[in-house]
Amino acid sequence: MVGITNPDLGVANITRKDMYDYDEGDVFQYVDFNSEMFSCYSNEKFYQKKILNKEVSQNGDTVSYLIHLHKCK
């Protein structure tokens, strides 16, 4: 994440396109952990998101994803 864009020197600055460039079949796993204050109660939820489809607009400024959400626990 170093460099400058004008003039083009060094490593280019990271862009949203670089960060959010998912492809069909990519899988993301999440854990949601909740705990109540002053209690022994806690709750963990596991999620998995899979990219099913990716659509890029004609001018390339918008990307839409179809995502399947699976609750594992």
pLDDT at 1 over 60: no
Of 54, 62, 47, 48, the closest CA to residue 24 belongs to 54
- 41 φ, ψ (degrees, to nearest 5): -75, 130
CA 65, 17, 58, 4: dihedral to nearest 10 degrees? 170
Task: For 21-57, write each residue's pLDDT tens digit.
Answer: 899 999 999 998 887 777 777 788 899 999 999 998 9
Give residue 14's pLDDT.
Answer: 76
What tokens were used for 47?
A: 């999620």
